[in-house]
Amino acid sequence: KSACGGDEALRREVENLLAYQRKASQFMDTPALDVAARMLARNKDRELVGNQLGPYEVLSLLGRGGMGEVYLARDTRLDRKVAFKVLPAELKDGPERMKRFVQEAKAASRLNHPNIITIHDIGQADGLDYIAMEYVAGKTLDELIPRKGIPLKVALPIAIQIAEALAAAHAAGIVHRDLKPGNVMVAEGGKVKVLDFGLAKLTERSKAFELELTETIQTESQSLTEEGMIVGTVAYMSPEQAEGKKLDARSDIFSFGSLLYEMFTGRKAFQGESNIETLSAILREEPDPVGQIVQGLPPEMERIINRCLRKDRERRWQSVADVKVALQELKEESESGRMATAETPQHKRRLGLIWTAGLLVFAIIVAATLWFVRPGSKPPTHSMAAIPFTTDPGWEMAPSFSPDGNQVVYVADGGMADWGIYIKRIGSGSPLRRTKSPSVEISPVWSPDGDSIAFLRGLGSNKAAVLMMPTLNGPERKLAEISIPFDLLGFRHGSILRWLRGGKWLVTSDKGPADGSISLIRVSVDTEEKHKLTTPPAGWVGDFNPALSPDGHSLAFARFSASQTSEIYVLPISNSLSPDGQPRRLTFDGQLDSMPAWTADGREIVFVRGTNHIYGLWRINAFEPGTPEPMPFAGEGAISPSISRQGNRLVYVQWSFDTDIWRVDVSDSQEKASAPMKLISSTRTDHEGKFSPDGKRIAFVSYRSGNSEVWVCGSDGSNPVAVTSMNGPLISELNWTPDSQRISFSAVEKESTFFYIVGAQGGRPVLFSEGSDPNWSWDGQWIYFSSRRSGQAQIWKMPVRGGNTLQVTHKGGVSPLESKDGKTLFYWKGDSLWNVPTQGGEESKVLDLVYQDCFAVGHNGIFFIPEPLETDTLSIIHSGHLSIQYYDFASGKTRRILDLPKDRYIGYGFDISPDERSILFTLDSGSIGSDLMLVENFK
């Protein structure tokens, strides 16, 4: 039997002879049967070698296995060598073997990858079925693994290439199911080819992310006709494969772990004296730690292998592409000499001898590092380019990658306010619409296994439903309801729904009934129960935008304050998916930092930073204190980043808009208004128009030079001139000095906000102080501003000629504006307008639901733009039925002055002329919308 190798026909012949021997031992003996088997094999080879099958001349036998013989042959048409696999005629009678033979050809032929064997041809000749494939001169991996394993330097390039081959197969919807060293060919020069897709499961390419495997698996000695049995090579099976369960790509990851274990140790991870004992070990036992077998192996390598070999597939690597990235990083560290290895006692003794010298070297390195990172030096940057991924009319928002990184799910309105969830494959044409509901739907996100998409649907009355649906077809399932102002779920705040590791829980935001704050919660997919994860402290509105780290143990999120600023926090997560400590604050800039996304290596977080609806992408170290860095390639209006699990792709929303400054004239009684007139416009953003106190000029912020700068023009919009050239900082919050000679403004620089003063004729801006929202008292003696120096955004004031800075508010507030008589300070807090006496006193609410920076105080009342009573996602994008209104101090009543144009965006910036006859406000140019942008070479 041993002489027959994997030849099933010869094996059956010998088994028949052995059965006869047991009945008539006087006629036969075992040595004679061995000789007979070898003779049968040699005779079979002689029948094909030297002959021609179709266009192929058979040259020699390369090997023999359960699926037939493999020969070296020559393609007479192209005069090239091929590996020629033949299914012997005696095996054709088994329909399942024939099926597997054809399946191998189909599976491999669908894959065009340098690390996967290429199929040239499949055919039939002289009653034999054959596959002609790429010939690789080399050895299989099992022939190359020595008794003590392959050295790390040699093994890592091989492992990375195998992972690349598996990643390509999985992305095409193919699971190998028989990965082992014998099915990996290593050519001369180290090139790797993965072979033998005879057991592979094929799925439709358009359903590559489903990986729903319905075929069963069997033992090598059984046919494929019995459900729940196993096929393949026992020692490399996954636990689910050994139990005859449905398989997905994670089964190959377990087999890959067994292969890696053997590569580095020279031993099989699981091996018993029989197949039953080996299967039992796979299901119940853990292999000996790699680090105990191989001295000096990096702990990271052991961790990679151990995670591949987790019995529970939910705790394994969820994508072989992630394994590849980890191996690549390990290889880079190894080649750079930075890699840490497991210490042996001998190593520890040596460390003691070189400790003093090490300190000296360290000091030199620190000194050199400080020199090279001194102010003015810049680290090298990688060139990254963004290309449009969607170009449809209207809005496309909240993108999220599929697990394989080849598809994106997002929401869009098609330019008709007809919102739905869409799926689009990278490199393909039209997207697939997945939902069609009259309610607004947001935050779609793919499940870790790719089978489902979770999303939110508005229910009205500040509620939303958490829903889940199959990726392609099938009914929706409602998991929970959340209570939250639904406008916060939309454009500005990105996605607020994410999966936790394992795919059994979702994390989102919910408003607590007790204190009214909004916390992160997790929702069970199975039981629909809720568990609270965070509790915002006093002064903070709530927690949004959860993003789980690649290892599943850290949850980044945005914490929003009452003053409409937000910061990025990171919460450690335990194995039980509960908080493992307090959230750690990552950003401290006092602006709007939100929508975090982890890089694939878990080292950095990409997030959105901005103010006044001018946003951009930034990145920051996830675990060490540091300064955020902008990502210039994204440009103005970039929000909602999503990074593929493989780490090589970034998709984000590019908010394309052009706002202009409009003017409307009102009557003395503030009861009538003229038709709105566009006053200041360009092809770039113009906003925040402010009249000078003498009424002769208007200051405004414009991006027409490529950066946000302060500009000044005549009161009729004529002769616009730039008065700053800051070339980078985000400028906002303009206000004139009472003498109309200077302009104060805020500028976001790195992680802080400062306010400056510049002459109305131009010149070098003078830094005044840290803080934002600078505004002047009417007598010119004080300057008000907002600052978080007390831990919460409050209004402060400082004397212009020097002296102590005084805190004005104690319950939060931004956007200060003094009354004409100088007795009252008005400010904005929590969607409402408040006031406080300038000399100190009780802080009280004046008006509910006022847009931030969309109010101006006159002599007898307040001009303002109110927020609608009922808001939804669209209210952030379209003005709907918004209006300019007037609140009269004497009567305490409000009246409508003017209805604003419908379906237009209202931007920041609002002011009245000194004579209170004209109002300036910001309105979009009519071409507002968004596209999804894709970065293929993201680093």
Task: Just list the catalytic residues.
Answer: 178
Say which DSSP state 235 is in.
Answer: G
What's the sign of the alpha-carbon dihedral 669, 671, 675, 680? positive
Distance CA 207, CA 307 (A): 27
Copy the structure tokens of residue 421. 């969830």
656-682 core/surface letters (b: 16 or more CB in 10 A; e: else):
ebbbbbbbbebeeebeebeebeebbbe
Query: Residue 264 CA to chain centroid, in angstroms?
Result: 32
Q: How far is CA 362 from its chain centroid?
A: 37
CB 839 within 8 A of CB 864: no
Reference 907, options 703, 757, 640; nearest CA is 703
Are 165 and 116 in contact by the 8 Å Cβ rule? The answer is yes
Identify the burial level of 861 via C-beta atoms within 10 angstroms of its C-beta, where 0-12 means exposed, 13-18 middle and 19 or more buried. buried
Residue 222 tokens read as: 């059984």
Report the C-alpha gap between 301 and 150 in whole angstroms: 13
Residue 900, token pair as written in the block: 């604003």
Query: Is-contact 620 629, C-beta < 8 A?
Result: yes
**Structure tokens of 86?**
């033949």
Contacts of 440 (CB under 8 A, 6+ apart): 419, 457, 458, 486, 490, 872, 873, 874
Name the DSSP class of 110: T
Give per-residue burial for 231-265: e unless 16+ CB within 10 Å, then b. Answer: bbbbbbbbbbbbebbebbbbbbbbbbbbbbbbbbb
Give the CA count within 13 Å in the CB-facing half-sphere of 153. 4
Distance, in Å, from the CA atom of 395 to the CA atom of 410, rounded to the nearest integer, reads 10
The answer to whether 406 and 442 have CB atoms below 8 angstroms apart is no
What's the CA gap between 750 and 770, in Å, rounded? 13
- Coil, strand or helix: which one is 154? helix
- Provide the greatest CA pair distance for the chain: 126
Residues 80, 134 contacting (CB under 8 angstroms): no
**Residue (of 861, 909, 895) closest to 679 by Cα position:** 909
Amino acid (1-letter code) at residue 394: G
Residues 6+ apart with CB under 8 A from 709: 701, 702, 703, 722, 723, 724, 725, 726, 731
Closest CA to 612 of 588, 581, 633, 591: 591
Q: What is the CA radius of gyration of the chain?
A: 35
Q: Are 758 and 710 in contact (CB under 8 A)?
A: yes
**Residue among 831, 804, 803 at smallest CA distance from 815:** 831
How many C-beta neighbours within 10 Å does residue 47 have? 10
> Distance between CA 355 and CA 683 in Å, rounded?
63
- Copy the structure tokens of residue 553: 């143990």
Sheet holding 128-134, edge to edge: 52-53, 56-65, 68-75, 80-87, 128-134, 119-125
Cα–Cα distance between 51 and 74 in angstroms, integer? Answer: 11
